[in-house]
C-alpha cells in the first residue's frame, strides 16, 4: 500500500506546475497563497476518486444499471457475479492509490496549518475544509473495504509505510465523526457548492450516521436533525438542467459539486465511461471519445421508468438511436444522464464536466425516508418532501391516505429513479439491509441472466458487503490482510 500513502502527489495530479509544494519539508506551506494552492490540490486529488472509479463500482453493483462487458475478467462487470477473484480488478487498485494520495495531501496540509504564519481565521478555514475532505475520503474507503489503514499524519520514511495495518472500521468511524464535527462547527454557511460548506458537512454526517447505523436505524433522529439544517437550497425547475447543461453547473440544487477542468489530468472520464460513443455531445467533429457504456440502464430501471410522462426519463435513458437520428434498437438501452462533454484540449476521453456529489433532492428523499420510519402513524411529513420530488418529475402528489408501508415503497421507488446512475443505490441497499434479497432477485431475472453469458452469477452473501483488497496492496505490504472469501 506504499503507493498513494508515500508517493508524490505528482503521480496523480500536478497541482502546481512550477513546483510540488507537497514534496519536501523544505518546501512546506508558508504563505496564504501556499495554503490556497494546497487546498485546491486536496480538492483535485479528492475529485479523482470519483473520476470514474467510485461511480462505476457503485453503479455496477446496483440494480439500476449493469456493465455489459462481463466477458472481460478484469472488468468491474465481473463483480456482479459474486465470485472470488475480485482482487485482480484494476479499478480497485486505481481507487486505492487515488484515495490514499488524497489522504496524504490532506494530512500534509493539516500538518503545517497550525504553525503557519497566517491569520487564525485562515487556519480554521483551511483545517475545516481539509478535515471535511478527509472524513469524506475515509467514509468512502470504509464503505468499499471495511477495515482500512487509518493514516492521520504524513509518513516520515518507507519503513513507517511498511508497518501500517488495517484499522477496525469502528475506529475509522470515530475519526470520521471527529473530522466532520470539526467541519460542521467551523465551515462557512455558504451556498457555493464548488467548495465545502457547513451544509455539505451536515449532509456528509447524515449519510455517515445512516450508513453506520445500518438496518438498526439507531441514528435516525440525529441524521434528521442534520438534514433539517440544510436550508437555502431549492430543486431546479427542470431535471435535465442538472446534468447536461454546462451553463447550469453549481446550481441552486447543488450542495457539493466536484469541479473538473477540460485539461489533461484535471478532467473526468464519466461521460465517456458511462455511455455509448454515438451519444457523447459537445466534442469537435472527428474527435469522438471512446464511449465504454459501462453503466447501461438495467431492465429493472427500464421497467420502472418506462413512461415518457416521467420528465426524468428523457434525461436518464433511451433506446439506442431515438435522439441521434439512427434506427431505434430496443435491444440496446443507453444511459443518457451524462452525455454532454466539455471536451479536454488534449485528451479526448477527459471532460470538464462537474460531478454533483450532494444535491437537495437527496436531502428531501432522505428526510422523507426517515420521517416515514419515525412517524408510522402520520405520513404528513414524509409525503411533503416526497411530493416535491414527484411533482417536478410530473408524477403528481400522493394523497395522505396511504399506509406507512405504501409511503415507504414510494420513497424507495423515487430514490431509485431520481438518483439513477448517481452512485447512491448500492449504498442505499447495503445500509438498509436489503442488498442480498434485492440483488439476488435482480440477478435471477431472465432478462438479466442472459446478460451474464457465459457466466452464471453466484448468490450474493454478506461477504460481498465489502470488496477485495487489491492484490498489489498486499504484495507491497503483507501485513495488510484480505477480506474473507474475496481474493
CATH number at residue 79: 1.25.40.390
**151 and 197 share one domain:** no
Neighbours of 319 (CB within 10 A): 15
The closest alpha carbon to 255, from 275, 231, 237, 271, belongs to: 231
Is residue 101 included in any domain, yes or no? yes
**408 and 461 share one domain:** no
Q: Would you give the end-to-end CA distance of the chain in angstroms?
A: 16
- Separation CA 377–CA 382 (nearest Å): 11
* Full residue range of the structural domain in which residue 289 is found: 260-353
pLDDT, tens digit, 9 for 90 and up, residues 378-437: 999 999 999 999 999 999 999 999 999 999 999 999 999 999 999 999 999 999 999 999
Neighbours of 308 (CB within 10 A): 10
- Separation CA 336–CA 315 (nearest Å): 6
pLDDT, tens digit, 9 for 90 and up, residues 158-196: 778 778 999 999 999 999 999 999 999 999 999 999 999
Is residue 228 included in any domain, yes or no? yes
The closest alpha carbon to 369, from 217, 195, 263, belongs to: 217
Lowest-confidence range among 49-63, 289-303, 338-352, 425-439? 338-352
- Separation CA 244–CA 342 (nearest Å): 10
**214 and 309 share one domain:** no
Is residue 252 included in any domain, yes or no? no
The closest alpha carbon to 289, from 267, 271, 265, 268, belongs to: 271
Q: Among 353, 385, 413, identify where a domain stops.
A: 353
- Separation CA 105–CA 116 (nearest Å): 16
- DSSP secondary structure letter of residue 426: H
CA neighbours within 13 Å on the CB side: how many for 125?
15
Domain count, the chain: 3
Neighbours of 472 (CB within 10 A): 18
**224 and 75 share one domain:** no
**120 and 226 share one domain:** no
- Separation CA 339–CA 59 (nearest Å): 16
Is residue 5 included in any domain, yes or no? yes
pLDDT score recorded for residue 79: 85
- Separation CA 94–CA 48 (nearest Å): 10
Neighbours of 178 (CB within 10 A): 14
**324 and 445 share one domain:** no
**68 and 32 share one domain:** yes
**33 and 172 share one domain:** yes
Mean pLDDT, the chain, rounded, equals: 88
Is residue 254 included in any domain, yes or no? no
DSSP string, 255-299: EEEE---SSTTSSB-HHHHHSBGGG-BSSPTT-----B--SEEPH
Confidence tier at 23 by pLDDT (50, 70, 90): very low
Chain mean position to CA 484: 25
pTM tops 0.75, yes or no: yes
**338 and 446 share one domain:** no
Question: Residue 160: which residues within 8 A CB-CB, separation 6 or more?
Answer: none
Q: Among 353, 387, 411, identify where a domain stops.
A: 353
R_g over Cα of the chain: 22
Task: Check if the beta carbon of residue 381 is closer than 8 Å to that of residue 374.
Answer: no
Is residue 270 included in any domain, yes or no? yes
Distances (CA, A) of 461 to 93, 213, 436, 440: 23, 19, 6, 9
- DSSP secondary structure letter of residue 337: T
Is residue 253 included in any domain, yes or no? no
- Output the domain CATH number for residue 385: 1.25.40.900
**285 and 149 share one domain:** no
- Separation CA 411–CA 365 (nearest Å): 7
Confidence tier at 22 by pLDDT (50, 70, 90): very low
SS3 label, residue 313: helix
Cell triple for residue 146? Answer: 471495511
Pairing type for strands 355-359 and 254-258 reads antiparallel
- Separation CA 267–CA 205 (nearest Å): 28
Is residue 255 included in any domain, yes or no? no
- Does position 19 have pLDDT exceeding 50, yes or no? no
Cell triple for residue 245? Answer: 447543461
pLDDT, tens digit, 9 for 90 and up, residues 220-279: 999 999 999 999 999 999 999 998 788 899 999 999 999 987 766 677 888 778 888 787
**146 and 276 share one domain:** no
**24 and 145 share one domain:** yes
Q: Among 401, 423, 445, identify where a domain stops.
A: 423
Range picked from 11-25, 59-73, 79-93, 401-415 for highest mean pLDDT: 401-415
Cell triple for residue 452? Answer: 451474464
SS3 label, residue 444: coil
Helix residue spans in 17-62 (DSSP H): 32-48, 53-61
SS3 label, residue 14: coil
Amino acid at each position: 500500500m506504499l503507493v498513494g500513502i508515500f508517493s508524490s502527489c505528482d503521480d496523480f495530479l500536478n497541482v502546481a506546475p512550477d513546483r510540488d509544494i507537497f514534496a519536501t519539508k523544505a518546501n512546506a506551506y508558508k504563505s496564504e497563497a501556499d495554503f490556497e494552492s494546497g487546498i485546491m490540490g486536496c480538492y483535485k486529488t479528492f475529485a479523482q476518486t470519483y473520476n470514474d472509479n467510485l461511480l462505476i463500482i457503485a453503479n455496477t453493483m446496483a440494480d439500476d444499471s449493469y456493465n455489459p462487458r462481463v466477458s472481460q475478467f478484469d472488468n468491474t462487470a465481473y463483480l456482479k457475479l459474486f465470485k472470488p477473484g475480485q482482487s485482480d480488478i484494476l479499478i480497485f487498485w486505481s481507487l486505492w492509490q487515488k484515495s490514499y494520495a488524497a489522504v496524504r495531501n490532506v494530512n500534509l496540509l493539516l500538518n503545517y496549518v497550525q504553525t503557519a504564519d497566517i491569520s487564525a481565521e485562515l487556519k480554521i478555514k483551511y483545517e475545516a475544509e481539509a478535515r471535511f475532505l478527509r472524513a469524506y475520503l475515509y467514509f468512502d474507503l470504509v464503505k468499499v473495504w471495511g477495515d482500512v489503514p487509518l493514516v492521520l499524519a504524513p509518513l516520515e520514511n518507507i519503513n513507517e509505510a511498511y508497518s501500517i495495518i488495517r484499522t477496525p472500521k469502528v475506529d475509522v468511524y470515530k475519526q470520521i465523526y471527529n473530522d466532520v464535527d470539526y467541519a460542521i462547527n467551523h465551515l462557512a454557511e455558504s451556498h457555493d457548492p464548488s467548495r465545502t460548506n457547513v451544509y455539505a458537512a451536515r449532509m456528509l454526517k447524515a449519510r455517515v450516521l445512516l450508513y453506520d447505523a445500518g438496518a438498526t436505524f439507531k441514528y435516525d433522529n440525529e441524521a434528521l436533525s442534520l438534514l433539517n439544517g440544510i436550508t437555502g437550497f431549492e430543486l431546479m425547475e427542470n431535471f435535465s438542467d442538472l446534468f447536461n447543461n454546462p451553463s447550469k453547473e453549481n446550481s441552486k440544487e447543488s450542495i457539493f459539486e466536484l469541479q473538473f477542468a477540460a485539461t489533461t489530468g484535471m478532467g473526468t472520464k464519466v461521460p465517456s465511461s458511462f455511455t455509448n460513443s454515438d451519444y457523447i455531445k459537445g466534442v469537435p467533429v472527428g474527435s469522438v471519445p471512446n464511449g465504454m457504456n459501462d453503466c447501461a440502464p438495467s431492465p429493472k430501471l427500464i421497467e420502472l421508468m418506462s413512461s415518457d410522462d416521467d420528465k426524468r426519463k428523457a434525461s436518464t435513458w433511451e433506446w439506442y438511436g431515438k435522439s441521434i437520428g439512427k434506427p431505434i434498437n430496443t435491444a440496446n438501452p443507453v444511459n443518457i444522464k451524462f452525455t454532454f462533454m466539455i471536451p479536454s484540449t488534449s485528451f479526448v476521453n477527459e471532460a470538464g464536466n462537474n460531478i454533483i456529489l450532494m444535491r437537495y433532492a437527496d436531502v428531501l428523499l432522505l428526510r422523507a425516508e426517515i420521517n416515514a420510519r419515525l412517524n408510522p402513524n402520520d405520513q404528513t411529513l414524509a409525503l411533503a418532501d416526497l411530493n416535491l420530488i414527484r411533482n417536478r418529475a410530473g408524477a403528481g402528489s400522493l394523497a395522505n391516505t396511504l399506509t406507512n408501508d405504501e409511503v415507504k415503497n414510494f420513497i424507495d421507488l423515487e430514490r431509485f429513479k431520481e438518483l439513477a446512475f448517481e452512485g447512491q443505490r448500492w449504498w442505499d441497499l447495503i445500509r438498509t439491509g436489503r442488498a442480498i434479497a434485492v440483488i439476488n432477485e435482480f440477478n435471477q431475472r431472465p432478462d438479466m441472466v442472459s446478460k451474464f453469458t457465459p457466466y452464471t452469477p453466484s448468490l450474493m452473501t454478506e461477504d460481498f458487503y465489502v470488496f477485495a483488497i487489491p492484490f498489489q496492496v498486499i504484495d507491497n505490504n503483507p501485513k495488510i490482510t484480505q477480506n474473507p472469501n474475496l481474493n
